[in-house]
Amino acid sequence: MDLTGTMLRAAAARPRVLVVCMPGGAAVRMAAERHLRLRDWPPATTPAQADLLFVAGPPCAYLHTAVERLWQDLPAPRARAHVRTADGVLAALDAARARLASPAAQREQEPPAETDSRQPQDRRREQSSDQDGTAGHAFLEEAAKDGERGEEPSPDRSNGRYTGSGSAHSSLKQHHGDHGGEEKRGDGGDAHEDHQGHGGHGGHGGMEMPGGLPMAGQGEDRDGLTLDRLHVPLGPLLSDWPTGLTLRLVLQGDVVQAADLDEEPLVASRPVESFWVQPWLRSAVGEAVGSGEAARRRAAARLDSLGRLLVVAGWPAEAMKARRLRDDLLDGAPAAALASRLERLGRRVGRSRTLLWLTRGLGVLTAQDARAAGVSGPAARADGDVAARYRQWLTDIRLDVARLDDPSALDPAEESPRGRWDARQPPSAALVGLLPQLLDGTELAAARLIVASLDPDLDELAAHSREGVARG
């Protein structure tokens, strides 16, 4: 009896797929999300959960090390695919599944190295790339099951955190290989069962852990207590995270004491065009673009952002509905075919008391502060917290869907998905610049929600870089 072949075929029957997006890969990512949904292949949020690593978009030298580290962290059996265009997604998924089920292909793969002769500082630098793919983004698998059943996130904010759904600072229960959905549901009460995800505590005299991992330093917190201070990167390859964004956090417990943007600019590696602002870019060079086409792209972009936020909040069932609407919009569906579904989504998400409870008071950005920072669009109009921003998205999406048949020419001053389009100062640049101050003093879980509620598109910055090179 070929037990190995049988087990590999079982793993390939319904593989978990970790999708990571490269700059300029938004269209490929969305095509992959659609095909995974149609095949009922569950998404993975960390490498340890995944059977397949799917890299969407053209290669990026800046992210090469991070991608390779993610690949090394996938447990066997495993397979990978790198797809540059949306047309190649279907064939790539089939080929990756075949490699996952093939004993010969699995034997040919080089296993992760068990030794490392590099200097400790080099190992730490690459280890940060490992954390870029997973740190600060561990979801309870019970939360995903709740969301797949259509249940709302379950908050528990009595102690300043929430558990059970989307708790980004909770310890992940790994059940790799159990793809049939047969895990036992928990009550979410073990969200801090394993606090070693923050690196452990206590003084260690500057010693390093095996493998070159630095131990936690110490510093005073906001109450004057001396606590461990951990340096944790978020990004650039987290699921449901702005492509290429890296934030360097200083944590004490669950609280962000400081947040800084990675100084190494992603846009310097390879200029790309942003998928979401294509109508505005085409209009800028004199091409005739209709307002209805721009409204369709803008509504789809905001549905994409809403889907990310709902996944981070622990409500993947509603996220899937948002993404279906996004895909239908991009396929050219008429407004009449979308109206009733959009109304149901807006009613369920906009009126959700649980989602409001999870997001209320997080990342407050007043309209005055937004204008002072150069922010426009829904983030400025919302004039409030995370809850105000996702509700503003819902309002704007409804208005745009009503304009899908507008035949008038696109006014260059009409706002793009993240705000008023200006090639010299893309709207996402101001959103990125706000992140450090909005994250300061928040919990790690709240930080993920704040980033998702702004959802800057770093491809806009790359498009700006490209235009600057062309002018130079």
In this prediction the pTM is: 0.78
With a pLDDT cut of 90, the percent of the chain lying above it is 60
Q: Are residues 99 and 162 in the same domain?
A: no
pLDDT of the residue at 223: 56
Higher pLDDT, 421 or 216: 421
In a domain, 45, yes or no: yes
Q: Are residues 139 and 104 in the same domain?
A: no
Write the CATH number for 375.
1.10.645.10
Of the residues 73, 90, 108, the one at which a domain ends? 108
CA–CA gap between residue 172 and residue 138 (Å, rounded): 5
Q: Are residues 164 and 302 in the same domain?
A: yes
Q: Domain range for residue 78?
A: 3-108
CA–CA gap between residue 357 and residue 370 (Å, rounded): 24
Q: Are residues 373 and 460 in the same domain?
A: yes
pLDDT tops 70 at residue 152: no
Q: What is the pLDDT of residues 246-269, one digit of tens each?
A: 999 999 888 999 999 986 655 545
The tokens 């979410």 sit on which residue? 188
Write the CATH number for 37.
3.40.50.12280
In a domain, 52, yes or no: yes
Q: Are residues 98 and 32 in the same domain?
A: yes
In a domain, 130, yes or no: no
pLDDT tops 60 at residue 429: yes
Mean pLDDT of 435-459: 95
CA–CA gap between residue 424 and residue 426 (Å, rounded): 6
Question: pLDDT-derived band of residue 373, with 50, 70 and 90 as boundaries?
Answer: very high
Q: What is the pLDDT of residues 6-16, one digit of tens each?
A: 888 888 899 99
Residue 174, classed as helix, strand or coil, is: coil
Higher pLDDT, 271 or 280: 280
In a domain, 206, yes or no: no
Instruction: Give the closest residue to 264 by CA, choosing from 61, 440, 448, 453.
Output: 61
Q: Are residues 169 and 35 in the same domain?
A: no
Q: Are residues 66 and 141 in the same domain?
A: no
Of the residues 65, 92, 108, the one at which a domain ends? 108
Higher pLDDT, 152 or 405: 405
In a domain, 375, yes or no: yes
Q: Are residues 145 and 60 in the same domain?
A: no
Q: What is the pLDDT of residues 445-456, one digit of tens each?
A: 999 999 999 999
Q: What is the pLDDT of residues 97-148, one digit of tens each?
A: 999 998 888 888 766 444 343 443 444 444 444 444 444 433 333 333 444 4
